[in-house]
Amino acid sequence: MAKGARQKRSMETKRYAIRMQPNLEWAIYDVFTGATAKPSSWPLVDLPLEKALEYCGFLNSIDRFRRSSRQ
């Protein structure tokens, strides 16, 4: 990967992030709206950290693909 491509990729805004819930589990949320991520009929809440990071990365990959295909 070229240096410029790496820099551009690292500067992209990620749409999803994780946050700790009061019960010490994790939730994935949309950083633009603040709403809990709900990619289908189930919200992404009450997750162990490892799963939250995995799902968050997956959702950000999908979002990055959608944005790049619009350009």
Q: What are the domain boundaries of the chain?
A: 13-70
> Concatenated DSSP letters for 9-62?
HHHSPPSEEEEE-TTS-EEEEETTT-PBP-SSSS---SB-HHHHHHHHHHHHHH
Average pLDDT of the residues in 26-40: 94
Q: How confident is the model at residue 9 (pLDDT cuts 50, 70, 90)?
A: low
Q: Say what the pTM is.
A: 0.76
Average pLDDT score, the chain:
87
Per-residue pLDDT, 39: 84
